[in-house]
Amino acid sequence: MVRYALAQINVTVGDLENNAARILAAHAEALKTSPDLVIFPELTLAGYPPEDLLLKPGFFKACDDVFGELLPQVRGRALIGRPVRDASGNRYNAAVLVEEGQVLATYYKNLLPNYSVFDEERYFTPGTDGLNLKLGAHTVGVVVCEDAWEVYGPARCECALGANVIACLSASPFHRGKSVTREETFRNTIITPGGSWFLYCNLVGGQDELVFDGGSLVMNPHGEVVARAKEFDEDLLVFDLSDDAVSGCQAPAASKATRTVPVVEISLKTEEKLVVAEKTEKKLSSTAEVYEALVLGLGDYVRKNGFSGVIIGLSGGIDSALTAAIAVDALGEDNVLGVTMPSRYSSDDTRSDAQILAENLGVRFEELPIESPYGAFSDMLAPLFAGVEGDPENLTDQNLQARIRAVYLMALSNKYGYLVINTSNKSESAAGYG
């Protein structure tokens, strides 16, 4: 039997020292279960996506320095994602096998995605070789994210040359329905006569406009998910895989591409392990996963960009109510300020609904009437508006109110160090109104 631990953690792009601390903390937690191999997500040390940081030679030196400090502290055995630059200046997206403070092997990501939010061809050189790790009866093929998305790609190639387990380090961002797409893709990759086991460790957390949903999993050779980590939260997924379970795996049809796949022999300890309960987290519904993505994305954006809280203009309507609920779930009620900014056009219900919402959520609530600045603007503009037709719905006055409110919110943002949260709906955002 081999015990695998998938360490699904939340890191920050460029925050190397704190990322290293997160790696060590998660690894220490995993060591309590006596794993034979701990697997971390893609580019764990640097965060994903590091983008133009990779064009700075100083960034690679910093990565090397921090990794050099981390390395002797790693007990046991782990696969850690990090960027690597060789002597010729080629940059690689790498999975590094570490054992007792030593680097045993390094795998370079073969397939570099260059579509949608991905731009890896700009930054990395593709690897050309595979990597299989021999752990007793288990032969573990190492791949990085996109390498498992092409049916006849690197993962299939490693299986064809003996791997009965695939370990995939990933940073796969969320969109609605993405988890279903992933699982269908992985089934296409691993299901063959006999098949292979698939261990998928995904990044979790928000990074600018991207959200990584975690959901690391273990899939058996029949394409069934037999263990799953939490979605949208850090987690440690420990899974015991018996020798009998991998003995029936058969080599699939070879990959279309020819790759060299070196094999690294690893000695396993025969120590008795404490029993670890297997777990499979319940899959979130489509609506729940969207809500959790919003909560995680907002919370991490605020924290990782150094804001101390958020400000929300509360109108008493649905848009600001939902936004406020997300903010409280993301940051806690003490870090949310709700502001109502009534005018001569505001109804009593608008004011009272905003206050009731704030009280229900437990957030600080302030009222800043805009009648005075509205009157001042109207007086200043009156000479230019005199005799001008063409605004039957009085959009000028409505938009003037909205812009005054924006000035209030931004002033509070500057003074308090809070981030202003957009309460525009989709139509308003699409028209540039938010």
Q: Which residues are catalytic?
A: 42, 109, 145
Q: In the structure encoding, which two tokens stand for residue 7, read together? A: 């360490």
Q: Which of 80, 58, 294, 265 is nearest to 176 (CA)?
A: 294
Residues linked to residue 166 through DSSP beta bridges, in sequence order: 141, 198
DSSP single-letter state for residue 214: B
Q: Are the beta carbons of 282 and 316 closer than 8 angstroms? A: no
User: Half-sphere exposure (CA, 13 Å, Cβ side) for 299?
Assistant: 20
- Residue 205: which H helix or E strand, with range? strand 204-207
**Gap between the Cα atoms of 279 and 281, Å rounded:** 6
Number of DSSP helices (H) and strands (E) in the chain, helices first:
12, 19
Phi first, then psi: what are they for 423, rounded to 5°? -110, 15
> 142 φ, ψ to 5°?
-100, 130
DSSP 175: -
**How many whole angstroms separate alpha carbon 87 and alpha carbon 96?**
17
Residue 167 three-state SS: strand
Report the first-to-last Cα separation within the chain, whole angstroms. Answer: 56
Count of other CB atoms within 10 angstroms of residue 11? 30
Query: Treating both helix axes as pointing N-terminal to C-terminal, what angle do 16-31 and 57-70 enclose, rounded to 10 degrees?
Result: 30
Residues in the chain, overall count:
434
> How many CA atoms does the CB half-sphere of 41 hold within 13 Å?
34
Q: What is the rounded CA–CA span in Å between residue 425 and residue 383?
A: 34
